[in-house]
Amino acid sequence: MQTNFTLAQLADSDTASANQILRTCVHCGFCNATCPTYLELGDELDGPRGRIYLVKDMLEQAKPATALVAKHIDRCLSCLACMTTCPSGVNYMHLIDQARQRIETTFRRALPDRLLRSLLAAVLPNPRLFRLALVGAFLAKPFRALLPGRLKAMVDLAPSRVPTPSALYRTRLFPAEGKREQRVALLAVCAQQVLAPRIDEATIRLLNRHHCDVVIAEGQACCGSLTHHMGRDSRAMMKAAIDAWTREIEGDGLDAIVINVSGCGVTVKDYGYILREDLAYADKAALVSALARDLSEYVATLPPLPATRATGQRVAYHAACSLQHGQRILNAPKELLAKAGFVVVEPPESHICCGSAGTYNMLQPALALALRARKAGNIESTSPDLIAAGNIGCITQIQSVMDVPVLHTVELLDWATGGPRPAAFAALRASVAAE
């Protein structure tokens, strides 16, 4: 694609990066074939190619974002299926992130939109506020019919029961079983601490069983992923996480930074790029990104544990977009589940997003609901006993319309190798309820 940036514009590293990305695009349109919003809406501007043209014009003209640009960029899920499909290697992720940042700084949204986005950016990264918000959403359920669309969607997504706060997060070091062979840091993800602390508990048990010391670094809070993908400046959060992990690296050392929420993993692996020009953090950020591993990616490198349970349940594996497209991890979770004795099936259209996408299901509820229904239908067609996924957003989104239990991959691996039976197994149909 031909671009027309001035030399002065290209002196800015972000613009230079955008220029390189744009020039890689040959506007072939292959990306549209796997774009969820293009498949749902059929609008060229709601596909990657159309969005790229909108971003190109906005950046070249150095003009504020318009309502048209904001509308179609906001509809993008950042699922990155287009990057998997693209034959030219266009880094759509960095381009769309830059577009969101420009919209955030140059476009004035309507007051309700500004308030909702500010609320989400303040509440979701803060476990205490998020817990209070979920309690409030539960109390609001009887009045949902009176609420506007977005608030109604948020209330619908809220679980009927919020787990009690886990003592897990008051502990910093979880020693390996037997002789320590690895030392890893676990990213304690803010929303997951509230929605499903059982996932971190299962992760720590599994890693301890693999002879890994697990540490939750002092001072590590939100990784910044959620607000970063809203176009907000999240570098302070990122730097706090980098500082926390750097202290561990410089102390007893780390073999990996293990992340069991794939959406966060994409961002942490991108720290090196995001902070590339920050002289104080560039090297530390690059090191953290190099150490970051998705849980399935890391466990696949360890000697296998013997299964201690007779499993055999039929598991529909939902490939989170941030894992399959963002991190290009395709087979490790399925192979780990199969080795643990589960019968793994992959639903049709596994490359299509479920509609969760961070805050998307709250900011774009109509499209999110359509994608959720599409995903649920495809999963149901496989007649699974269980559903496994590697991202808390996907788990929450899919479970909201499924009777079949939706679990994190690590919960099944932990149970198969000696961990406690997941509470969700109570919902298994009678034919497979018994262990």
Q: Quick check: 377 pLDDT over 60?
A: yes
Give the pLDDT confidence score for residue 159 in this predicted structure: 82
Structure confidence by residue, pLDDT tens digits, 305-348:
988 888 999 999 999 999 999 999 999 999 999 999 999 999 99
Helix (H, G, I), strand (E, B) or coil at 258: strand
Structure tokens at 306: 């013997």
Residue 300 banded pLDDT, cuts 50, 70, 90 = very high
Helix (H, G, I), strand (E, B) or coil at 406: strand
Give the pLDDT confidence score for residue 428 in this predicted structure: 60
How far CA 341 is from CA of 114, 187, 333, 435, in Å, comes to 48, 28, 13, 13
- State the Cα–Cα distance between residues 35 and 5, nearest whole angstrom: 28
211 against 427, higher pLDDT: 211
Domains 167-299 and 314-432 equal at CATH topology level? yes
Is 3.20.20 the CATH classification of the domain at 167-299?
A: no
Give the single-character DSSP code of 434.
-
- State the Cα–Cα distance between residues 253 and 251, nearest whole angstrom: 6
Q: What percent of the chain has pLDDT over 70?
A: 98
CATH (residue range 7-106): 1.10.1060.10
- State the Cα–Cα distance between residues 2 and 150, nearest whole angstrom: 39
Q: Quick check: 433 pLDDT over 70?
A: no
Question: Within 79-219, where are the H helices?
Answer: 81-85, 92-106, 111-123, 127-140, 149-157, 190-195, 197-209
Q: Quick check: 432 pLDDT over 50?
A: no
Q: What percent of the chain has pLDDT over 90?
A: 84
Structure confidence by residue, pLDDT tens digits, 56-70:
999 999 999 999 999
Q: What is the mean pLDDT of the chain?
A: 93
* Cβ-based neighbour number of residue 369 at 10 Å: 17
355 against 157, higher pLDDT: 355
Q: Quick check: 261 pLDDT over 70?
A: yes
Annotated domain spans of the chain: 7-106, 111-157, 167-299, 314-432
* Cβ-based neighbour number of residue 147 at 10 Å: 15
- State the Cα–Cα distance between residues 361 and 355, nearest whole angstrom: 6
Q: Report domain 314-432's class.
A: alpha beta
Q: Quick check: 97 pLDDT over 70?
A: yes
Structure confidence by residue, pLDDT tens digits, 161-209:
888 888 899 889 999 999 999 999 999 989 999 999 999 999 999 999 9
Give the pLDDT confidence score for residue 165 in this predicted structure: 87
Burial grade of 433 (CB within 10 A; 0-12, 13-18, 19 or more): exposed
